[in-house]
Amino acid sequence: GRPRRCGWLDMVALRHAAMINGLTGIAITKLDILDGLKEVKICTSYKCDGDKLDNFPADASVLERCEPNFESFPGWKESTSGLKEYDSLPENAKSYLKAIEDMLGVEVQMISTGPGRDELISLKDQF
């Protein structure tokens, strides 16, 4: 695919979105772009004016002063591209996905592993 700039997952914003929208499940897309990274990170809180913020600020002027606090997880060298079974994922990828579920309090229900429609791991029947 074409080159992209991707940022780390912002769990503070995602928790806020989950709360506002009443999420019961989440799809993780582009897992395959993390292949080969030594570590992967999740923003777990913000630092603003010396304070730690666990919740998404209601005021945009506060948000623009925030810096992310990250938790790091071991990356994986194995390719996830095109995988269709959860059990085929590298153990570190599974641990990363479990951390997302634990932090968010919502199940990961789908994982995309490539650009194709069929490059998908479905963990729960959606229909």
Could you tell me the CATH number of the domain that includes residue 97?
3.90.170.10
Quote the crossing angle between the two packed helices 91-104 and 11-21, to the nearest 10°: 50
66 in any annotated domain: yes
43 in any annotated domain: yes
Distances (CA, A) of 38 to 21, 35, 78, 84, 87: 33, 9, 11, 23, 21
116's tokens: 């194709």
- Please tell me the predicted confidence (pLDDT) of residue 6: 78
Q: What's the mean pLDDT when you consider all of the chain? A: 94
- Identify the H or E element spanning 104: helix 91-104
Domain extent for 89? 9-122
DSSP state letters, 6-18: -PPEEHHHHHHHH
Amino acid identity at 94: K
CB half-sphere exposure, 84, CA atoms < 13 A: 4
- The Cα 1–Cα 62 span in angstroms is 36
72 in any annotated domain: yes
Domain count across the chain: 1
- Please tell me the predicted confidence (pLDDT) of residue 126: 66
22 in any annotated domain: yes
113 in any annotated domain: yes
127 in any annotated domain: no
For residue range 44-93, what is the model confidence (pLDDT) as tens digits? Answer: 999 999 999 999 999 999 999 999 999 999 999 999 999 999 999 999 99
82 in any annotated domain: yes
